[in-house]
Amino acid sequence: MCGIVAYVGPRDAQPILLDALSRLEYRGYDSAGLAILNGKGIEVRKKSGRIQELAKICLAEPVKGRLGISHTRWATHGAATDKNAHPHLDASGRLALVHNGVIENYLELKTKLMETGHIFLSETDTEILAHLVGEAFSSSREKGDARLVEAVRSAVQQIQGTLGIAVIHADMPGLIVGARRGSPLVIGVGEGENFLASDTQALAPYTNRVVILQDKEIVSLRADRFDVASPLGIRENVKVEEIEDGVAASDKGVHQHFMLKEIFEQPSAIQNAFRGRLDADGATAKLGGLNMSPQELRQIDRICVLGCGTALHAGMVGKYLIETLAKIPVETQHSSEFRYGDSPVSGRTLFFAVSQSGETADTLGALREARRRGFTVLGICNNVASTIARESDGGVYMHAGPEIGVAATKSFTSQLVIFTLIGLLLGRLRFLSAAHGRELLQAMENLPAQITQCLAYSDAIREIAQRYAHASSMLFLGRLANFPIALEGALKVKEITYIHAEGYPSAELKHGVIALIDKETPTVLLATQDGVYDKNLGNLQEIKARSGPIIAVAHDDDKKICTLADTVLKVPRTHELLQPILNIVPLQLLAYHIGVALGRDVDKPRNLAKSVTVE
């Protein structure tokens, strides 16, 4: 949540900052701003609304300078207004600061500062931090870069909460200071220029060489060098890593929105998820990144999956897959509930922390709590340089490529493929026969082509979406592994269309849910042919008897359901365990096309941010 970009080098900072911010707008888009050293002092431009609004005022009144910081905001403390936009200045007006995170003790700090004469212009917690750094700077006896570095260190020590910050001071030309605690921050290493950003995506056009700041580290950044310090002193032998080029991924290509582009990227994303991981000879999966021997994996007698939102839904499908293939009990928990709860956990439990970004605050906190208790935690994420990837004992990298749309699509199906691989690996270490393993491997290899078949129905789904776009509420029903697909389908509708939608197990229909059925409330019923197909048809009849419109997700050769449902979203047949991967695709397209029909900003839905890095 929120995005930071800073630049120091020989080029004009303003166009670089605006361009890089546009690549981070999925992290926050309530307001945006920048501050640039112009040779005389700090010049600030900030505006509520999207980055384009900031770009307009910068075009009308350009800021010249070769060093600057910038920010795109997702509001926490204070409304989305011009005055609450970052950057914020200190009392002297000569220091500017941008901040990701939440300062939990800001009221206490604000009261103390006001008692000593500080005046605040915004409702944000961030402005308090700017004043703290400014006060420490004015009283510091340090010389050179150390003066601003130590001022930042002093201020951060007074803060309770999370932060990723970038700070500049008019008295320290050529210097940017950054610090992180809980909120990600990376250094972009250029040729005679350097960058600071909350996400490598912002750096894609400028450099593919980065340094990942560790928790509680501070960086002093100049055009020709940088120094990284931890509470224990200067970090020696800083590792510069190369990241995958994300420029092409930042382009919508032929598609109207990133969300649609990423839905259509799912055949290749899924292939990337299993490429090199299928062992035909052993009829199993190869997952060396788990960092666990077969003997250690066989000793596991329970699994707990931690996640939030879409990642948790993937874990719920994973529960069904692992329990079916490996006969190991699996529970899923909201990361926040495990983090603060008192869940009893058996001694030989293996944890999976699932997060597309690898920076989800609650999941990271749950990971740390599980490791504190002495358990092994494996990560499933899409960013190999993320905090969860680095703090896990091992894991599986998704290889889905950057996901810009706020609504998770290709990352979800990639997570389902990874859980299938995990289930297959654990199953073959226990009771699953080689014949069943090969059957599943063959079905998995067919998935990319079958998802392409699902995508071919996009135009037909657009027509269906227009028919139901003005519903005020929708219900999604599914059984077994399709129950979490119902939850995910409902979540996509809520996120993208703002229509109220709920997902339930189909069998719960008679236990209260049926009271919501009427002719104005469409029900999406996941009814592909499996062991509970006839049960689902019974639910369909109960809904029809109460005049409820029915949209069925069904096999493309199912003639029977076409005579019963009002509308059918067609999917190909696959192995029953893999069917949920195909079934979600038409639901993603349905949500997308309804959102477009209603004029929603489907890539940046209201009140949402892509990466939830604060609690």
Pairing state of beta strands 218-221 and 88-89?
Answer: unpaired
Of 528, 326, 573, the C-alpha closest to 428 is 326
Where does 3-249 sit in CATH, by number? 3.60.20.10
- In the prediction, which pLDDT does 239 show? 83
Q: Name the band, by pLDDT with cuts 50, 70 and 90, for residue 90.
A: very high
CATH 3.40.350.10 fits domain 252-453: no
Tell me the pLDDT band of 512, cut-offs 50, 70 and 90.
Answer: very high
User: Is the pLDDT assigned to residue 246 strictly greater than 80?
Assistant: no
Catalytic residue among 46, 410, 604, 610: 610
| Residue 47 a catalytic site member | no
**DSSP string covering 160-187:** -B-EEEEEEETTSTT-EEEEEEBS--EE
Q: Quick check: 248 pLDDT over 60?
A: no
Q: Is 2 a catalytic residue?
A: yes
Average pLDDT score over residue span 173-197: 93
pLDDT digits (tens, 9 = 90+) for 136-168: 999 988 889 999 999 999 999 999 988 999 999
Chain center to CA of 348: 29
pLDDT tens per residue, range 333-354: 999 999 888 888 888 999 999 9
Place of tokens 């021997």: 293
Give residue 245's pLDDT. 52
Can you name the CATH fold of 456-603?
Answer: Rossmann fold (3.40.50)
What is the structure's pLDDT at 184? 86
Which percentage of the chain shows pLDDT scores above 70? 97
Domains 3-249 and 252-453 alike in fold: no
Q: Is the peptide bond preceding residue 267 cis, with omega within 30 degrees of 0?
A: no
pLDDT at 75: 77
Count other C-beta atoms under 10 Å from residue 248's C-beta. 10
Mean pLDDT for the chain overall: 92
Tokens representing 107? 């009221």
Res 249 pLDDT > 60? no
Q: What is the mean pLDDT of residues 396-401?
A: 91
Count the neighbouring beta carbons within 10 Å of the beta carbon of residue 399: 20
Domain ranges of the chain: 3-249, 252-453, 456-603
Q: Which of 2, 308, 381, 454 is catalytic?
A: 2
Per the CB < 8 A criterion, the answer to whether 376 and 359 are in contact is no
Helix axes 410-428, 579-597, angle to 10 degrees: 170
User: Residue 542 — very low, low, confident or very high, per pLDDT cuts 50/70/90?
Assistant: very high
